[in-house]
Amino acid sequence: MKHILLALLAVCATPAASVTCREDIWQDQSYTTCVVSQKNDDLRLFLNGPDGTPLGSFAAIEKATGRQVLFAMNAGMYHPDRQPVGLYIEDGEQIKRLVTGGSKGNFGMLPNGLMCITDFDVRILETGDYLNDTPTCRYATQSGPMLLMGDQIHPRFIPDGSSRFIRNGVGMSWNDEVYFVISNDPVNFYDFARFFRDHLKVHNALYFDGKISRLYAPSLGRSDFGFLMGPMVAVLAPAE
C-alpha cells in the first residue's frame, strides 16, 4: 500500500501541460494566440531529425520524439536548405553562430533578437543584450526584427505600413506566460507589434517570419500546411 501511495503522489506531483490556444479579435484583425507556461510546459526547439536532415513538418516532430505535440509553429528565418539564418541552439548544442550587424531582409532590420530557453525560464533578448550578458540557453533561435523592446515598438515600423502579410512571433509578459501569436489576416509590422503590447500587455516580443508562417494547434483543430520548414518551436505532452 505504501508503494502505491508513493506512486500516486509522484504522478500528482508531475505538472500537467497547460498550453492553451485561442482566437483573438482586436482592432478588426484576427489572431490566434497560444499561451505557454514557462514552469509547466515542455517547450523546445526542433530542426534536424536523427539522420541530420531538417524535420520540416509538425508531424515529423511527433514521429522523431514519440510524444504528442500540443502546439507548434515555425520559429525563425532560414536559408533555402532550411538551415537557420542566425544563432540556433538545440538541447545545449550550438548549430549556428550568432549573427551581428545589418543584413538583407527582415532578419537584418536592426535591432533584431532571439528567443532563449534556459533550464529555468524563457527570455526574449535583443541581440546586443545577449552579447553583453550571454545566458546559458538550452535552446535558442535568432530572428528579427524585434517587435517590442521594453514596451517600445521597433523604430522602423510605421503606423500605415503597406507591407501586409500573415505574420507570427513570440512575446514575454511580466509573469510566467509566453505568448506565441500568428495573424489570421494580413497585417503590417506596426499593428502586429501593437497587438502584443496593447492587447496582450507584452513588454518584449520577437518577429519569427511572414508569408510562410504556420501553426499547429490541435485544441483548435488547426494544422497549417505548406512548404517544409526550418526551425520549429513546440510544446510536447508529458511523457507517459
Decide: 240 and 46 in contact? Cβ < 8 Å: no
Amino acid at the residue 211? K
Closest among 90, 58, 86 to 214, alpha carbons compared = 58
Q: How far is CA 116 from the centre of its chain?
A: 10
pTM across the whole model: 0.92
Decide: 31 and 196 in contact? Cβ < 8 Å: no
For residue 82, is it left (φ>0), alpha (ψ between -120 and 50) or beta?
left
What's the pLDDT score for residue 7? 36
What's the pLDDT score for residue 16? 60
Mean pLDDT, consecutive 10-residue stretches, the chain (240 aa), reads: 36 60 97 96 97 96 97 97 97 97 86 97 97 97 97 95 96 91 97 98 96 95 95 94
CA distance 61 to 236: 9
What's the pLDDT score for residue 1? 42
